[in-house]
Amino acid sequence: MFDDMAKQSTVWLEGTGPEAEIVLSSRIRLARNISGIKFPPAAAKEDREHVLAMAVDVFKKDSIFFKGRILYVDDIDAIDRSFLIERHLVSPEFMMNLPGRGLFVGQDEKLCIMINEEDHLRIQSISSGLTLEDTFDAANKADDYLSRRIEFDFDDDFGYLTSCPTNVGTGLRASVLIHLPGLVLTRDIDNVISWISKLGLAVRGFYGEGTDVLGNLFQVSNQTTLGRSEEDIIESLQSMTGQIIARENAARERLFNDARVQIEDKIWRAYGLLLYARILTSEDVMNLLSAVRLGYGMGVIKEMPLALINELLLLSQPAHLQKYLNKTMDAEERDVQRAMLVREKLNKTVKQP
Amino acid sequence: MFDDMAKQSTVWLEGTGPEAEIVLSSRIRLARNISGIKFPPAAAKEDREHVLAMAVDVFKKDSIFFKGRILYVDDIDAIDRSFLIERHLVSPEFMMNLPGRGLFVGQDEKLCIMINEEDHLRIQSISSGLTLEDTFDAANKADDYLSRRIEFDFDDDFGYLTSCPTNVGTGLRASVLIHLPGLVLTRDIDNVISWISKLGLAVRGFYGEGTDVLGNLFQVSNQTTLGRSEEDIIESLQSMTGQIIARENAARERLFNDARVQIEDKIWRAYGLLLYARILTSEDVMNLLSAVRLGYGMGVIKEMPLALINELLLLSQPAHLQKYLNKTMDAEERDVQRAMLVREKLNKTVKQP
């Protein structure tokens, strides 16, 4: 499954959109439940199957908008589940076995709808760069189509009802995936995280936690939705992201003024290792790509376009690597094949000095 | 001084001669003293000046053989002293101030004679590769020329008399500079060193001591000369060197069979860093070049000819770097300029992939 998808990047890693060099992607998720049916974890199997059937019915009826593929989780094998998780199309929890789960993936992967995750429907839209409003529009449109044919659980006082109380209200979770190597290198990151948290947003390492954050990638998202409008949530995240970008850029400028050659050394060494290493773990690649991405942002290195940096970030992950190369491999073999793939992609794209 | 020399490599780093990939150089040193004059440390200044005058007289009279330059140590400034030490033309001790010291350096640097080091004359010959006999011949010829015009301190029972008792007899110290990364990587090096020592040879790290041996370069030499003929000393070192090479090659074969990709990774990462780093200490360069030299020897990497590996080993040293670039620099600036020089030399010589 997904052999076609494995050969291509995904929409949120196109490296386009505003601020795409620092903000990898913007994501919107809307949680919706169907009136009169228990939430998925508590629902009977038949209820979940009923929900799935209703959703599939909408996708088929509104097939011009819902252009893409409908998948049944039971049919997806282990490596394809990892593949979907690595692509951030689904949550890891969603890939656990629970009968009646299904998935809609839009043709360009911008839209993805999980059926019977924690809520009956989780509508997700994701785009490259800082594009929260556009991304919200896409999710919102899908919500409109669905709500024309399905009655959602809605309370006049509270808003949309959801399985987890933190989602009650708009059911909206907006997030950005942001690359903050400058703040990590200047050791300002802890201050910035605590400042963001105080303002009511959640920040976490995107790969790994605490000091083990890989690739200096962080996810910033709203914490609660109750009592706030969609516009309010999105505007507030948009504005905070702008401030984080400003702090990151200030950190980079400080680095450039105070330790320019050290930073350049770090960036070029990373590039040299990507180009020549014969063994690369996915952690290696994430950290090396982080340095190269910083170099791209600072104008130090022009050899690697952003789209390639993003593509390698995606393809280096275990399931992607195996699907891309079309063979099952243990970790040791993957590290060798990963290094080979990175090398080939670089040599193909990059004009050597 | 030495501006011409700074722009070129030195004979023992040509990368030619038998086994030149593992044995960088062969060196012969003959200690000689002049009859009736006290050894230099104990001699009066006038005595040393007399010795120097006698030696210079021979160089001038036999100027066809002694083609090269005559230098007075007092005239050599600090950076040129470091330059000569880095080139292994003189000992660090010789560069300390002691009036009456002089130096002959043959045109191709194969022959070098220190006057008033620990002995009145120290004749040194050095060549690329495992070439002890030829190298000895060159030193021996210089000895013949000198002894025709100067009477050496010679005892019928003991042989040549020298300042330090370990040199009495032939006055001969024969040594090889040998690269043993395979034995270091397989952790067999300590066993090999102890085995060599038991057989009466001295082994020491060429740069640094103990676990801090830089660049996996070792010097193996005879310990004593008393009661042994020149031929015996040289044959014994030649044969031991052959055995060390065999052990090194066996270690490499083991590495190639058991951990091929790890070794290739190490080699290519080193190459990538040499090609892209923006800051390189001389220790960095020594260790990276060691990996690349191993790769050259194992047939893994063909991008860097041996002569270039050797040239960079020489030019990366602080005094060489400054003389080559014709400017005085502190350590921080040197690290940047060193990385730039390595990069330029590589990009000029190497066809990129």
Q: Say if residue A191 is in the same domain as residue A242.
A: yes
Which value does ipTM take for this structure?
A: 0.88
User: Packing angle between helix B132-149 and helix B45-61, nearest 10 degrees?
Assistant: 110
DSSP E strand stretches across B156-304: 159-160, 172-179, 201-205, 217-222
Total-model pTM:
0.91
Domain boundary among B200, B217, B252: B252
Mean per-residue pLDDT, A329-344: 97
pLDDT tens for each residue of A80-99: 999 999 999 999 999 988 89
Q: What is the mean pLDDT of chain A?
A: 92
How far, rounded to the nearest angstrom, does the alpha carbon of residue A10 sit from its chain's CA centroid?
A: 10
Tokens standing for A267?
């960036």
Cβ-Cβ contacts under 8 Å for A259 (sequence gap 6 or more): none
Nearest CA in chain B to A275: B272
CA dihedral B237, B238, B244, B247 (to 10 degrees): -150
Are residue B196 and residue B245 in the same domain, yes or no?
yes
E strand or H helix at A104: strand A102-106
Are A324 and A177 in the same domain?
Answer: no
pLDDT of the residue at A166: 85
Cβ-Cβ contacts under 8 Å, A353 against chain B: 347, 352
Tokens encoding B144: 């013949």
Which of A268, A292, A347 would best serve as a mutation to test chain B binding (most B beta carbons within 10 A)? A268
Triad B330, B333, B335: Cα angle to 5°? 110
Tell if the CB–CB gap between B261 and A278 is shorter than 8 Å: yes
Residues B147 and B290 occupy one common structural domain: no
Nearest CA in chain A to B261: A278
Of residues A268, A269, A276, nearest to B268 (C-beta) = A276
Tokens representing residue B24 in the block: 């960088």
Contact: A353, B347; criterion CB under 8 Å: yes
Contact A153/B at CB under 8 A: no
**Chain A 278-337, residues with CB within 8 Å of chain B CB atoms:** 278-279, 336
pLDDT at residue A69 in the model? 93
User: Is the predicted pLDDT of residue A344 greater than 80, yes or no?
Assistant: yes
Give per-residue pLDDT as tens, B111-165.
Answer: 999 999 999 999 999 999 999 999 999 999 999 999 999 999 999 988 999 988 8
Are residue A242 and residue A264 in the same domain, yes or no? no
Low-confidence spans in chain B with pLDDT less than 50 = 353
| Residues facing B309 on adjacent strands | none
Q: Which two tokens stand for residue B173?
A: 């110290």
Nearest chain B residue to A262, by CA? B279
CATH of the domain at A134: 3.30.590.10
Question: Using 50, 70 and 90 to split pLDDT, how confident is the model at A209?
Answer: low
Query: What pLDDT does residue B15 have?
Result: 84
Mean pLDDT to the nearest integer, A109-133: 96
Q: Which chain A positions have a beta carbon within 8 Å of B268's beta carbon?
A: 276-278
Q: Return the pLDDT at B353.
A: 47
Q: How many CB pairs under 8 A join A and B?
A: 51
B298: CB partners within 8 A, 6+ apart: B252, B256, B263, B267
Same-domain pairing of B195 and B271: no
Residue B345 and residue B311 in contact, taking contact as beta carbons nearer than 8 Å:
yes
Q: Given a cut of 80, is residue A242 above it in pLDDT?
A: yes
Do B283 and B175 have their domain in common? no
Cβ distance B279 to A272 less than 8 Å, yes or no, reads no
The total number of structural domains that make up chain B: 2
pLDDT at res. B351: 56
Predicted pLDDT at A350: 66
Any A CB within 8 A of B258 CB? no
Question: Residue A77: exposed, middle, or buried by beta-carbon count in 10 A (0-12, 13-18, 19+)?
Answer: exposed
* B188 and B140 fall within a common domain: yes
Which chain B residue lies closest to A333 (C-alpha atoms)? B261
* Residue where a domain stops, chosen among B252, B274, B291: B252
For the cut 60, the answer to whether the pLDDT of residue A45 exceeds it is: yes
Per the CB < 8 A criterion, the answer to whether B116 and B51 are in contact is: yes
Indicate the Cα dihedral angle B338, B340, B343, B344, nearest 10°: -110
Of B204, B197, B202, the C-alpha closest to B180 is: B204
User: Rounded distance, CA A334 to CA A327, Å?
Assistant: 10
Q: Could you say which of B262, B271, B336 has the minimum Cβ distance to residue A276?
A: B271
pLDDT at residue A353 greater than cutoff 50:
no
Domain that holds residue A73: 2-252
B230 and B264 belong to one structural domain: no
Residues A67 and A93 in one domain: yes
A128-151 per-position pLDDT tens digit: 999 999 999 999 999 999 999 999
Note whether B246 and B327 are same-domain residues.
no
Mark whether A240 and A304 lie in a shared domain. no
Q: How many CA atoms lie within 13 A of A76 on its CB side?
A: 24
- The token duo for A348 is 């193909």
Give the residue-averaged pLDDT of A26-37.
95
Mark which of A252, A275, A292 sits at the end of a domain.
A252
